[in-house]
Structure 1
């Protein structure tokens, strides 16, 4: 454990963990797991295995652990942050996450009267998403900007305490010059915080400016790129 709080005598983090060593020949992992929960604290910063693997087995090329003088280790940690209250969180990271792109074409843009427009639902990382667009702005952007957000399509379906970690890019496409207006950010989405975006994404005057290509024949195209990297669930 790094940066342990040694000033608090009774402070500690309880965790169960597994250590991995990659067999680069097969893509499989050699796994060692602690069978009991361990307490990390100021006087005991580390736990592990004195005899994780013999040097002979580690160095043997046929085993695939050391290839071209390179090895790959990994760890999974399940932490109980508030032991006395029985609370904890399990974080599962997505191996080789896949980016999903969704394009939303909006016709007759100037005739839209709704305060908020929702795109069709799309899926990324086993989660359903939607783009939310406010033609006349929202919050601090009201009346002067177009506001644009990415949102969970059905946040109430998440189990209590669950969070989705994703990075995403939202764009308004320049249909003439390919000089797109975009914003990029990462965020923990949850039932309590189901949306993230920009109240001042682009000014309404710049959006409608002739020759810019954001509104072409009263059509606007919005694009979302979403990559889910991990899911946290309550223990």
Structure 2
């Protein structure tokens, strides 16, 4: 997965885990030039243009979901950059719509050429709450070895170079296409015996399958030792079974008795 950086917010119990990866975000990227102007003029947030990520299925049809990324730079906790995802247009959605989406936020590291990304978070967008995100995506400052160091704005970190930085986002809609399988296990624990008479033994082909028989409601077969898919591939040696003094084969005929112990039966629906 790559290197991992834990950015610790002011509260001890809140930790944002960031990973690095080579592939760029799949859905949206924004390049901010003259980044220092944001702080200089106290610009608190920027809302991107709309982009399509995922779709919403309703009544057999599908609607594209338009999103907008919101970057907040000088919020209540000015040590952090906040990144939010908002539904851009919900007029075509049903009254009580609900969309679950997996959001990952990215920041381009311009020195190695890879991306710092947040661990995907599942967000529930609703008619009453159409904006979700990460309030503390990355810190502008982080305490390292008992001193203050700028995590975002220090050019040596590679996130802001020539006063420019690149953010991105991936949004995957969690579609409700769940398949449910029901398994009913019945405790049987029953023995079944099946007698089988084989005539013309020496004229049988190398692989021979008997007629099916029932054991615990299941169709079973008996096949020759040359097929070792089930059972014992070596049951008795040819020298022993062909010895007329042993009595296993009489007049080119032999008798087999098959005993099956059915422990349980599984019924899948």
Q: What TM-score, normalized to structure 2?
A: 0.45
Please give the residue correspondences for 1:53-68 in structure 2 after superposition, counting only pairs within 5 Å.
none
Mapped pair 1:117 → 2:46:
yes
Partner of 1:3: none
CA distance in 2, matches of 1:157, 1:115: 30
The DSSP-based 3-state class of the residue aligned with 1:207 is coil
Residue 79 of structure 2 corresponds to residue 134 of structure 1: no
- Does the 8 Å CA contact 1:165/1:231 hold for their aligned counterparts? no
Alignment pair present for 1:225 and 2:161: no
Q: TM-score, normalised by structure 1?
A: 0.51
- Structure number with larger C-alpha Rg: 2
Shift of 1:180: 3.0
Report what 1:108 is aligned to.
34
1:100 CA drift (Å): 4.6
TM-superposition CA deviations, 1:112-154 (whole Å, max 9, x none): 2421101111011210001110112x34xx2111111111113
SS in 2 for 1:193: coil
Tell me which protein shows more helix as a share of its residues: 1
- CA distance 1:179–1:100, shift in 2 (3 Å): closer
Q: Is the 1:155–1:190 Cα contact (8 Å) retained in structure 2?
A: no
Match of 1:213 among 158, 165, 185: 158
1:154 maps to 2:83: no
Number of residue pairs aligned between Structure 1 and Structure 2: 131
1:199, distance to aligned residue in structure 2 (A): 1.3
Provide the rounded CA distance (Å) in 1 between the counterparts of 2:176 and 2:127.
13
Q: Does 1:176 align with 2:111?
A: yes
Task: Name which structure has the greater RCO, CA cutoff 8 Å, separation 6+.
Answer: 1
> In structure 2, how many angstroms separate the alpha carbons of the residues matched to 1:101 and 1:134?
20
Aligned 8 A contact 1:100 1:227 in 2: no
The structural deviation recorded for 1:175 is 1.3
Q: Which segments of structure 1 move beyond 3 Å, counting only runs of 4 or more?
A: 155-158
Deviation string, structure 1 residues 52-71 (Cα, Å, up to 9, x no partner): xxxxxxxxxxxxxxxxxxxx
Q: In the aligned structure 2, how far is the partner of 1:128 from the partner of 1:100? A: 15
